[in-house]
A and B are shown apart, each in its own frame.
Chain A
Amino acid sequence: MKSTIIISLAALLFSLNGNAQKYFTRSGYLGFFSKTSMEDIKADNNKATFVIDAATGQIEISALQTAFEFEKALMQEHYNENYVESEKYPKATFKGKLENIGAIQFTKDGVYQTKAVGELSIHGVTRTISIPATITVKGGVITAEAKFTVSCKEHNIEIPSAVKDNINDKIDVTAKATLQELKK
């Protein structure tokens, strides 16, 4: 009996928490960049989904591989067919948690440094990573931003020896999104 009361009280408190809210976008940016002395390769995806649960700190980012746009159509074709094999693995996802979610006040202006720890899945390979991220709240607008590096080798993405001087194994990834409140 006592425990029921405690649980209901906890549930009540939880629901009153100002952070019991989700923030999202379906138009987030995910870009990557490979730099070598031979060539710079850049691709952008402006249709990535970002969702943050402000109560639990749960964060999810998803992007479809064929929606990455390259400067050259040929690069885009090679990326999808030979490197990430989009037909087999159409999505890239990150599922994790923001470490200090309690310190982030989504309704109060500020710049909050955090860390997203979770699982990054690319090309059928899932790895646990930790990504330093910044959440900025300014005049009610919430922006999430992060930069990290992905190794092709670690995700079983083979770079043919003929172009190994043109493509860096370490790819710089940028994530940026303006989030809005999820109204259900």
Chain B
Amino acid sequence: MKKPIILVSVLLAMVGIVAALYIWNKPKRTAEAEKPAEIVTATQLYSSYTTDEVAANTRFLNKTIQVSGNVESISSDGKGALVINFATESEDGGIVSATFPEPKDLKPESGSPIIIKGICAGYIPGEMLGGEVQLSQCALAQ
């Protein structure tokens, strides 16, 4: 009678440990692995943020979104990862920036159209320079 109880508790403990380890080591989110919750153009995304930042955050923040637009420039972030900056046709010269997880040998020409997926990190208003909507963990959309 006692044996099955011990067996069950050992099994439960093992399941618990495996689950805890899984949660602790769960992989980082990347846009590549997720379906986009929204599909927009860079111009639409930027103007949503300049019109109503709170509403735009409710719609986009922390979600994977697919963004299309024309490349304005290519740069890199503080650790050298690839950043593609989209033009936005806005008056303040603002941009939508798409940061990839690492440096990438990808050099789209300025002015060329491109479609990416990224996790929306929000908006930095441009008081002294143009504003910026940031997308992180980006990937090229297939």
Chain A residues close to B by CB (< 8 Å) = 22, 24, 26-29, 44, 46-49, 51, 53, 58, 60, 62, 64-67, 69, 72-74, 76, 80, 86-87, 90-91, 176-177, 182
Contact = CB atoms under 8 A, between A and B. Distances in A.
A74 B28 CA distance: 8
Contacts of B124: 49, 62, 64, 91
B97 interface: yes
A176 B77 CA distance: 12
B119 A66 contact: yes
B83 to A, nearest CB: 7
B121 A64 contact: yes
A22 B130 CA distance: 13
27 contacts: A22-B129, A24-B128, A26-B97, A26-B132, A27-B75, A28-B78, A29-B78, A29-B79, A46-B81, A47-B83, A49-B132, A64-B122, A65-B122, A66-B62, A66-B121, A67-B121, A72-B24, A73-B27, A73-B28, A74-B23, A76-B28, A86-B62, A87-B61, A90-B57, A90-B61, A90-B123, A182-B128
B66 interface: no
Q: Which 9 residue pairs across A and B have the least CB separation, nearest first?
A: A46-B78, A46-B77, A90-B122, A29-B78, A64-B121, A67-B121, A73-B28, A51-B128, A64-B122
Interface in B82-135: 83, 97, 99, 119, 121-124, 127-129, 132, 134
Contact of B127 (A44, A60, A74): A60
Interface residues of B, number: 30
Contacts of A60: 127-128
A46 B27 CA distance: 20
Given A62-B124, A64-B122, A27 B57 contact: no
A74 B26 contact: yes
Interface in B4-57: 23-29, 57
Contacts of B119: 66
Given A22-B129, A72-B24, A44 B122 contact: no
Given A47-B134, A67-B134, A73-B29, A87 B57 contact: yes
B26 A73 contact: yes
B75 A26 contact: yes
Contacts of B61: 66, 86-87, 90
